[in-house]
Structures are given as C-alpha cells and as structure tokens.
Amino acid sequence: MAMIIPWITSLIFLLLLLSLVEWLLPNTSYRPYLSLFLGMVLVLFLIKPLSAIFSIQPDQWIEKEIEQFFHHETIEKSYQIQKKEIQASLDAYILEQTRQQMIREVEKELKETFQKEIIAIHFWETNKNNDGVTVILQDFQIQKIDPIIIRPEREATQANDKKELSAFFQEKWGLAEEQLKIEVKRE
C-alpha cells in the first residue's frame, strides 16, 4: 500500500503533464510522432512497478528473508540467555541472604546452649519437592584435648547432641526432620 499511493499520485501528475504538452503542441506533421512518444512514456511509467516486482530474484528474496529470520532469532536467544543469567544471579543472591538470615537467627543461642557455631549451610531438594538443609557445625570453644578413650557412652552422648541440635533447628527454622541433616566437624 505504501508503494501504490506515491505511484498513483505520480501517474496522475504524469497524465496531467502529458495532456498539457499535447495541448500545447502545434498541429504540425510531427504531432503524431510526439503523441506516440508521449504514449510510450506513459506505457513505460505503467510497466515500471511490474518490472520492480519481477526484477527481484527469488534466491535473493529467500536469502534476504532467511537472514532477517535468523537475525531476529539470534536476538531472541541472546535475550533469553541474558534473562536466565539475571535470574540465576538473583536466585543466588536470595539464597545467600536466606543463608545469612538463618545463621543470624540461631547463632547466639547455638553458641550459648550447645557451644557450637555454623560453618556452612547447604540447601538441597527432598523427595517431596521441598527444600532440605544441611548444617555443618563445629565446636565453638577450644577445649582441652582429653585422652581418646572409646566408650559406648561417648557415642551415645554424640547421638543425643545431634538429636538436640536437630530439634533446635527444626523449631527455629520450621523444618521437618527429613528436611534437615546435621554434620558436626571435630578437630
């Protein structure tokens, strides 16, 4: 449509111009030749848009369309990659903020009650599509090194410590037992 309107206005202008020229021509023996020439100019003007349509080679047209398609697709892929990168960095930031908040919530009470501190917190997914948490702890106070004597009582004490720690974290963070793993590193 954008090409048709200027072509029609040019055609109207050309017809007015040809009529004016023909009207101004004297009645001489050259008049039929000049009329033939002006008619040919009119026919060439009418054929020009058709020649423009058919002058485009099909392979050039297809190549041009493919180039535009892939260029658009490349931009779309680039946009999607950038979107994923931004989302990943945002998720990492939120995860780190959650980790820090969880540590702040229990840090003081954990040191006072259990004499332990959190080294790391790792998140994982459970079978029920819930997030699970692994808490890695270490003793907070530097204690005297006792001689190593293996007794069943000491192992029972460590198991009780883990149960108490598990109950503590479950209460503070609102987690189920299957969502929590506790590791205690001993020096």
How far apart (Å, rounded) are the C-alpha atoms in residues 80 and 87? Answer: 10
Give the CB-side neighbour count of residue 185, counting CA atoms within 13 A.
11
Rounded to 5°, the CA angle 153-156-161 comes to: 125
pLDDT tier for residue 97 given thresholds of 50, 70 and 90: very high
Please tell me which residue, 169 or 128, carries the higher pLDDT value. Answer: 169
pLDDT tier for residue 112 given thresholds of 50, 70 and 90: confident
pLDDT digits (tens, 9 = 90+) for 28-62: 887 888 888 888 888 888 877 776 666 666 667 67
Lowest mean pLDDT among 109-118, 133-142, 151-160: 151-160
Mean pLDDT over residues 148-169, rounded?
70
